[in-house]
Amino acid sequence: MSRTTAESRDSKVESGRARHAQRTARAPVYRPSDFLWRRDADRCALCKRCVQQCGFDALTWENAPVPDPEKCVGCHRCEAFCPQRAITIEPNPQYLRPHPLWTESHRKNLWVQAETGGVLLTGMGNDLPYPIIWDHLLLDACQVTNPSIDPLREPMELRTYLGSRPDQIELAVGAEGPELATELPPNLELAVPVVFAAMSYGSISLNAQKAIAMAATELGTYWNTGEGGLHEDLRPYAHRAFVQCASGRFGVTADYLNSGAAIEIKIGQGAKPGIGGHLPGEKVSAEVSETRMIPIGSDALSPAPQHDIYSIEDLRQLIYALKEATNYEKPVSVKIAAVHNVGAIASGIVRAGADIVYLDGFRGGTGAAPTVIRDHLGIPIEIALAVVDQQLREEGIRNQASLIAAGGIRSSADAAKAIALGADAVALGTGALLALGCTLCQKCYTGRCSWGITSQDPALTRRLDPYLGSRRLINLVSAWAAELEEILGAMGVNAVESLRGSRERLRAVGLDRTTMDIMGVKPAGVGA
Amino acid sequence: MRIDARDMHYRELNERIREAVASGETSFELVNVNGQRYIGDGLRGEIEIAIAGVPGNDLGAFMDGPTIRVRGNAQDGVANTMNAGRIIVEGHAGDVLGYGMRGGELFVRGRVGYRVGIHMKAYRDKRPVIVAGGTAGDFLSEYMAGGLLIVLGLDRRPGEPVVGEWCATGMHGGELYLRGEVEPWRVASQFAGVRLAEEAELGAIRPHVEAFCAAFGLGSEEIMGGPFLRIAPTSHRPYGAKYAA
C-alpha cells in the first residue's frame, strides 16, 4: 500500500467521524445511503478530476477523494470523467431487512419527512413499476398477400402537419386548372413526426435549450420554450418554436407571441397534473430573470390553475386572445396532463378553438415536482391518446385539431405505436435530455446537475456544448426517422399519414379485455 | 378614425383596427361598442383608442403601449398580461383585471370585481399600476409578484367593505394600498402583513393617485387624506420552507 493511500485512509476515518456526528445530531434513525462510491486506489492517479466534476459536493479532497455517500446521487459524472477508470458507483448492498409493503424507498422517504416535515421533491418522470402498455402492443407486418414496401428504394413520407384542417375544401376553376378556394388555417410542417417537449430555460440550462433549438431547426421540426420566455440567444430559432403561455405569464409579450411558430397554452403537465410550476429563487439567475422578466432570486410561481380559466368558455377566451394578438397566423396548442376524463376535456379544448392538443401522460418528466404527485396522479398516455382520438372521431371533430402524444416515448417503436393509436406526432423530453448526457438521477430540482443540463450554475452549464449536444439530438431523431421508415415499410404503408389512427394494425398481448376495448385494440391472434 | 361597431363581430372590428394601425393610423374612436372582445389586444406603439359603450372581455390583453379610454363600463380580463400603455375605465370593471400585468396603468373609476391583480409582476423599469376608485372583490392581489395596486373605496355604502375575502393569498411581491379599514381576517396573514402606510409610502403613491384623479376630474387632496393601509408580502419565498431539502 502506498503511503499516500494509507494517509488518505486515516483522513477518511477522521472525516467520517465528523460526518457521523452531524448525522446523529440530525437523525436519530439509521438511513443507509442509496449508493456506494468506490475507488480503486491502485488505478487512481490522484488527479482530482472526480472532485471537480461532482456537482453535489459528494466528494472532497483530503490527499485523495473522500466520498460522502449520503450526498452521492448516482449521476456517474465522476465515473465518466475518471481518466483511470478507477471509480465505481453501485447500489448500496447494505439493505434494510426486505419487506414487501414497507419497501426501502417508502422507509427512506418517511424518515426524510420525519426529519424535515417537508413535501418531498423529485425530478424527471414517474419511476414506479406501473404497467407499461407500449410493451403490450405489437405492430402488424406484411406477409405474402399484402406486400411490404422496401424503404431502401421506395420513397417514404414522414412529413407531418400540425394544425386544424377544414371540414371540407372547395375548389374553383382557375386559369391553369382547379385552384383551392378554401382558406386553410395555419399549419406547421414537420419533416419527422417528432417534436421536442416543453422544457423552460430555468428548468434546463440555456446550453441545453440551445442544443434542442438548434437540433429542431436543422431537423425541420419544432422545439418548445416551456414557460420560461425566449432568451435573446434563441431568437434565431424562434421560427421553429412553440412559445408557451402559462399561468405565470413569464416573458409573455406581444413580441414573444409573434416571434414563435405556434403558441401553446399550458394547462397541465403529465408529471404533475393539477399542480403549478415553482422555479425556486435559487435558479432565477440574472439571465433567467431577464428571460422570464422577473426580479433576480424571486420565486417564479406558476399558479396551479390559470386564474382566468375556470371553464371551456374561459379557455376559448384565451385561445382567441392569443389568435387576435397574432393576427390568426399561428396555430394555438393546448397542453394538458392525461387524466381520467381526458376524452371530454380534449373535446372541449378542440371546441374551444385549439388547433393542436398536446397530451402528456403520467410518465412525463419534470424539472421539479412533489414526488407524491409525480408518482400517483394521471393516467398512461397510451390509454389517454386512444380515448381522445376515438372521442374526437366519434364527434366528427378530429380534423379540427392535431394530437401530440408525450410522456414516456422511449423509442421509434413507441412513436409508431402512438401514431397508430391516433397521434399526429410525439414529443420527446426525457429522451432528449438522455441524448445530452442525462443519466436519470432525478435531481433536476436541486439545480446541481453535474452534466450541466438542469443547472443554472455557469461552472456546471459550460460543461454542455450546445453544438455537440445538437449533433447528438440530430443523430437520435434521424435514427428514429430511419427506423420509422423501416416500420412503415414492413407494415406496407409509405406515409405516416397512412398509419395514423390505424389501430387495426396493432395487437395486444397480455392486456385485459376492458383495457383493449377502451383502447380499441384487438388481442393478438385475431385476424382482420 | 371613427368606427361604428354596431352589430359588428369582434373579429372584423379588431381586424379593421389592426389594418389601420399597419397603415399608420394612431387615433381611433369606437362608437356603439357592445361586448366586442379583445379590443387593443396585442397592439404596440403610440395609439389612442376612445371607446363609447361597453367593450367585451380581454380589453387591452397583451397590449404594449397604446392608451384606451372607455366611456362606460368594462367587462372581465381588462389589461390581461399587459406590458405597457394606459387603460382608463370611466365606469365599473369586472373580474380578473390585470392578470399577469407587467407594465402600464389601469384606472377604473368605479368598482372592480373578483381576482384583480393576480400575478401582477415587476421587472426592471416596468412596474404595473392598478388604481380602482371603488371597492374590490375577493382574491384581490392573489399571487401578486410585483407592481402597485391601490383601492380607494370611494362612494361606498355604509358598512360596505373595501375589499372582499382571501385578499393577498400567495402574494410574494409588490404592494397593495387600501383606503379605509379592513378586518384582519380578509387578508391572508400567512403571506402578507397589514399596517398603516407611512409618510414616505404615501408620498410614493401620491403621483399615481393624482394621475387617477386627473383622469376623472377628481380632487386628490381629500382622497390622499386616507387613511391608507399598506399590505405587502412577508416573504418573497412564501413556499421556500414547504419542501424537504
Query: Nearest residue on chain A to B236, judged by CA atoms?
Result: A298
- On chain A, the residues whose CB falls within 8 A of the CB of B139 are 307
Q: Is B245 on the interface with A (CB under 8 A)?
A: yes
pLDDT category of residue A36 using cuts at 50, 70 and 90: very high
Q: Is the pLDDT of residue A283 over 60?
A: yes
Q: In this complex, do A248 and B18 lie within 8 Å of one another by their Cβ atoms?
A: no
Using CB atoms, which residue from A248, A257, A280 is nearest to B42? A257
Q: In this complex, do A118 and B243 lie within 8 Å of one another by their Cβ atoms?
A: yes
Quote the pLDDT of residue A461.
96
SS (H, E, C) chain B: CEEECCCCCHHHHHHHHHHHHHCCCCEEEEEEEECCCCCCCCCECCCEEEEEEECCCCCCCCCEEEEEEEECCCCCCCCCCCCEEEEEECCCCCCCCCCCCCCCEEEECCCCCCCCCCCCCCECCECCEEEECCCECCCCCCCCEEEEEEECCCCCCCCCCCECCCECCCCCEEEEEEECCCCHHHECCCCEEEEECCHHHHHHHHHHHHHHHHHHCCCHHHHHCCCEEEEEECCCCCCCCCECC
Asked which of A110-114, A163-167, A300-304, A366-370 is least confident by mean pLDDT, the reply is A300-304
CB-CB contact of A506 with A373 (8 Å): no
pLDDT category of residue A51 using cuts at 50, 70 and 90: very high
Domain with CATH 3.30.70.20 in chain A: 3-118
Q: Is the pLDDT of residue A429 over 50?
A: yes
Q: What is the CATH number of domain B92-233?
A: 2.160.20.60
Chain B closest CA to A100's CA: distance in Å? 25
Mutation target to probe the B interface, by most B beta carbons within 10 A, among A317, A327, A373, A448 is A317
Q: What is the pLDDT of residues A299-357, one digit of tens each?
A: 888 887 888 899 999 999 999 999 999 999 999 999 999 999 999 999 999 999 999 99
Using CB atoms, which residue from B58, B238, B244 is nearest to A321? B58
Share the mean pLDDT of chain A.
92
- On chain B, the residues whose CB falls within 8 A of the CB of A324 are 10-11, 14, 37-38, 41-42, 61
Using CB atoms, which residue from B57, B118, B145 is nearest to A317? B57
pLDDT category of residue B179 using cuts at 50, 70 and 90: very high
Quote the pLDDT of residue B245.
61
Which cell goes with A111? 424518515
Quote the pLDDT of residue B241.
75
Q: What is the mean pLDDT of residues B203-220?
A: 96
Share the mean pLDDT of chain B.
95
Q: Is B102 on the interface with A (CB under 8 A)?
A: yes
Quote the pLDDT of residue A475.
98
DSSP letters spanning A225-255: --TT---GGGGGGGGGEEEEE-TT-TT--HH
Domain with CATH 3.20.20.70 in chain A: 160-165+191-497
Mutation target to probe the A interface, by most A beta carbons within 10 A, among B19, B114, B121 is B121
Q: In this complex, do B102 and A249 lie within 8 Å of one another by their Cβ atoms?
A: yes
Q: Is B75 on the interface with A (CB under 8 A)?
A: no
Q: What is the pLDDT of residues A348-384, one digit of tens each?
A: 999 999 999 999 999 999 999 999 999 999 999 999 9
CATH class of A3-118: alpha beta
More confident residue, A27 or B20: B20
Quote the pLDDT of residue A26.
55
CA distance B135 to B156: 8
Q: Is the pLDDT of residue B21 over 60?
A: yes
Q: Is B127 on the interface with A (CB under 8 A)?
A: no
Is ipTM over 0.90?
yes
Q: Is the pLDDT of residue A180 over 70?
A: yes
- On chain B, the residues whose CB falls within 8 A of the CB of A326 are 42
Q: What is the pLDDT of residues A129-156, one digit of tens each?
A: 999 999 999 999 999 988 999 999 999 9
- On chain A, the residues whose CB falls within 8 A of the CB of B170 are 301, 303
Q: Is the pLDDT of residue A39 over 80?
A: yes
pLDDT category of residue A16 using cuts at 50, 70 and 90: very low
Using CB atoms, which residue from B18, B123, B245 is nearest to A116? B245
Q: Is the pLDDT of residue B239 over 80?
A: no
Q: In this complex, do A307 and B118 lie within 8 Å of one another by their Cβ atoms?
A: yes
Quote the pLDDT of residue A285.
86
Q: In this complex, do B242 and A116 lie within 8 Å of one another by their Cβ atoms?
A: no
Q: Is B22 on the interface with A (CB under 8 A)?
A: no
Chain B closest CA to A198's CA: distance in Å? 21
Q: Is B63 on the interface with A (CB under 8 A)?
A: yes
Query: Nearest residue on chain B to A318, judged by CA atoms?
Result: B58
Q: Is the pLDDT of residue A8 over 70?
A: no
Phi and psi (nearest 5°) for A301?
A: -95, 125
Quote the pLDDT of residue A195.
98
CB-CB contact of B45 with B25 (8 Å): no
Q: Is B151 on the interface with A (CB under 8 A)?
A: no
More confident residue, A297 or A494: A494
Q: In this complex, do A249 and B115 lie within 8 Å of one another by their Cβ atoms?
A: no
Q: Is the pLDDT of residue A187 over 60?
A: yes
- On chain A, the residues whose CB falls within 8 A of the CB of B142 are 303, 307
Chain A closest CA to B61's CA: distance in Å? 7
Using CB atoms, which residue from A119, A281, A303 is nearest to B143? A303
Q: CA A277 → CA A200, A271, A274, A479, distances in Å?
A: 11, 11, 10, 33
The fourth-level CATH superfamily of domain A160-165+191-497 is Aldolase class I (3.20.20.70)
Q: In this complex, do B64 and A253 lie within 8 Å of one another by their Cβ atoms?
A: yes
Q: In this complex, do B172 and A294 lie within 8 Å of one another by their Cβ atoms?
A: no
Mutation target to probe the A interface, by most A beta carbons within 10 A, among B62, B102, B235 is B62
